[in-house]
Amino acid sequence: MAQQAQQWNWLDIPMRPALPPPPSTADVYEPAGGEEYVIEMHVPGLKPEEIVVEATPDGLRVSTHPHQEENSDRMYLQREQENRAWSRLFDFPMEIDPDKVQAKLEAGILRINAPKALSSPTHVIEIKERSGQAAHAT
């Protein structure tokens, strides 16, 4: 008897648990001109004092610390809108200027403008000889 080809069974593959979706979706883009990066995130129900934006030259971190209602008289039957702290890190292809980053919250959308760091012009360094005389580098 000829041996039959063994069929591939997808159910035999060990599965890894899926990662949860990010706490908030975001659009990251460069507007025309390319002088900055813009992040737009949906953060419904959060107030400005519940959001922290931290900037470094390499990227941004957005964290939330929502106010928890402790004495709520609600008895939820179903609760799909998470009200928990979360954090997201955004890296950029070029360095940004952390001192010029601006954030604005309007109608549940957080908009962060992160200007790119300006590259400094090339400096010509003067090379000094041991005898004290200076020679110019080209």
Quickly count helices (H) and strands (E) in the chain.
0, 9
Predicted confidence (pLDDT) at residue 1 exceeds the cutoff of 60: no
Helix (H) or strand (E) holding 91: strand 86-91
Lowest mean pLDDT among 55-64, 69-78, 83-92, 94-103: 69-78
- Report whether 90 contacts 19 (CB < 8 A): no
Strands 127-128 and 59-64: unpaired
Q: What is the mean pLDDT of the chain?
A: 80
Tell whether the torsion through CA atoms of 81, 86, 91 and 96 is positive or negative: positive
**The domain 24-66+83-138 is classified under which CATH number: 1.10.600.10, 1.10.10.10, 2.60.40.790, 3.30.530.20?**
2.60.40.790
Query: Can you give the pTM of this predicted structure?
Result: 0.68
- Report whether 113 contacts 36 (CB < 8 A): yes
Q: pLDDT tens digit string along 79-98?
A: 777 678 888 999 999 999 99
User: CB 38: neighbour CB atoms within 10 A?
Assistant: 13
Q: pLDDT tens digit string along 110-125?
A: 999 999 998 655 567 6
